[in-house]
Amino acid sequence: MMRLVDVRLDDVVRLRKPHPCGANEWLVVRIGADIGLKCAFCGHRVLLPRSKFNKSFKEYIRRGAPSRPELPPA
Ligand SMILES: [Zn+2]
């Protein structure tokens, strides 16, 4: 069964396999059909299709701000 990861911009996540540079800490820089990740150590960027991201995801290190509806104008 496929797990759906609630991924947000600015989340920092750990994946099942570390990056070849040795770090395993990824900053989420893009949300869409593909998830954009940036290695927190070497700055390398990757794009993972969401289905692949769901499989690779291990845990959150830090959560980004929750998305919330726009406040009505004052
Ligand atoms: Zn790296």
HSE on the CB side for 46, CA within 13 Å? 16
Q: Given this model, what pLDDT does residue 66 score?
A: 80
- Give the distance (Å) from ligand 1 centre to CA of residue 25: 8
- Give the distance (Å) from ligand 1 centre to CA of residue 20: 6
C-alpha distances out from residue 41 to 21, 25, 38, 58, 72, Å: 8, 7, 9, 18, 39
Q: Give the H or E element holding residue 54.
A: helix 50-56
pLDDT in tens, 20-69: 999 999 999 999 999 999 999 999 999 999 999 999 999 999 999 886 66
Is the pLDDT assigned to residue 2 strictly greater than 70? no
Confidence of residue 15 (pLDDT cuts 50, 70, 90): very high
Q: Give pTM, 2 decimals.
A: 0.84
Is the pLDDT assigned to residue 1 strictly greater than 60? no
